[in-house]
Structure 1
Amino acid sequence: MNGNWLRVTPAELEQARADLAWAYGLAMTHRDDDSDRWSATDKAWNGLDFLLDRLGVDIPLVLGAEDFVELPDVEPDSDEMFDFLDNLDDDWGYGPPSYLTPTQVTAAATQLATLTKSDLIHDVDPQELNQAEIYPGNWERPGTLAWVTHYLPDVRSFFAAAATDGDGVICWLD
């Protein structure tokens, strides 16, 4: 399970709202071209999300803040949710993508701008992540927290560039 982002112009975001299949094609093109409009956190997505939330970053930049598809009000791991997700006509991976508006991207970039790798893991007990069942687990292994922090400079750069260009960001797990 890997975290992914795609920078999109406001016009592309509007088109994605109307046509997620088109947006998926755009995302795969940018990913396959290793474009600077696509970025990923691999399996560190959940750890990064947990650590940013712990620091009070209030924009859910890993999973997105806005839904393209309204999910049913059922338990996340229920048969009803799995049936709903199976009936979606998409290839995004683990459920439909979400997104951040250009305003949310700017707010996220501002909050990330001064964060350091040390800030991200200051006073973190790896057991906190294990107890919270943060994917992929085994947080007590040496180097695991540093593995998450090594993504921070690229995350800062990606969101700074998106904010500078007035872009939104599509967020998804695959």
Structure 2
Amino acid sequence: MSMIGRYLRLSAGELERALREPEWAQEFVEELDGAADGARAGGGWARLHETGKAWQALDFLLRRREFPVDLVHGEGELPGADDWGYGPPSLIMPERVRLAAGALAGLDPGRLTEGVTAADLAGARVYPQGLWAEEDALHLVTAEYRALADFLRAVATRRHGVLVWIE
């Protein structure tokens, strides 16, 4: 089974509820997963987003650029939450989502990978190591970066926050 990065968009009220009732948030994700078509609809309506197996490469590349928000691991564990795969989910609050969306808008995907090769990712032991043998592997990462930037821009526009986890 592969490890994938996942995101859930939450309104202010939903964030408050998740903080009070972390089990509700997990049930909400399970409901949305059951209705995947609507949950992952394109554009600004998407509730769920995934970066697939590119999550650790995105983390590696964003850290290189000293990105101001931890988009891959979140910025604070959801208190009282159970393990959702590889640990409990973390929060990115609405004001931090807005900061991230603004910073993403200023970071072109080509600049994100500038000076980095797939061999660099393999050498840094970035998951999944087998992927970095493929010549076009960085294209997968930039495609996931673009999709994440679009998702977070829509989240920021709504002044929502996100839960982040690795599954």
| TM superposition shift of 1:91 | 5.4
Is 1:8 paired with 2:1? no
Tell me the equivalent position of 2:113: 121
* Alpha-carbon separation, structure 1, partners of 2:129 and 2:12: 36
**Contact 1:24/1:91 (<8 A) preserved:** no
* Residues 1:59 and 2:59 are matched in the alignment: no
Structure 2 residue matching 1:7: 3-state secondary structure:
strand
Q: In structure 2, what is the equivalent of residue 47 of structure 1? A: 57
Identity %: 37
TM-score (norm 2): 0.86
Would you tell me which structure has more helix in proportion to its own residues?
2
Q: Which amino acid aligns with 1:58?
A: P
2:4, 2:53 within 8 Å by CA — same for their partners in 1?
Answer: yes
Letter matched to residue 123 of structure 2: Q
CA distance in 2, matches of 1:17, 1:69: 7
Q: Deviation of residue 31 (structure 1)?
A: 3.2
Measured after TM superposition, the shift of residue 126 of structure 1 is 2.8
Tell me which amino acid in the other structure corresponds to 1:56: E
Alignment of 1:99-118 (within 5 A): 99-118=91-110
Find the partner of 1:97 among 89, 92, 96: 89
Matched, 1:149 2:142: yes
- In 2, the alpha carbon distance for the partners of 1:30 and 1:62 equals 21
SS at match of 2:135: coil
Q: Choose 18-27 or 101-110, whichever is displaced more.
A: 18-27
Where does 1:22-41 land on structure 2 (aligned, <5 Å)?
A: 22-34=24-36, 35=39, 36-41=46-51
Gaps of 5+ in 2: 40-45
- The runs of 4+ residues in structure 1 deviating greater than 4 Å are none
Stretches of structure 1 that go unaligned for 5 or more consecutive residues are: 71-88
Look up the equivalent residue of 2:144 and give its one-letter code: Y
| Counterpart-to-counterpart distance in 2, 1:137 and 1:69 | 32
CA distance in 1, matches of 2:65, 2:15: 29
* Structure 1 residue 14: Cα displacement: 1.4
- Per-residue deviation, residues 76-102 of structure 1 (Å, max 9, x unmatched): xxxxxxxxxxxxx73511110001000
After superposition, the Cα gap between the structure-2 partners of 1:123 and 1:140, relative to the gap in structure 1 and judged at 3 Å, is farther
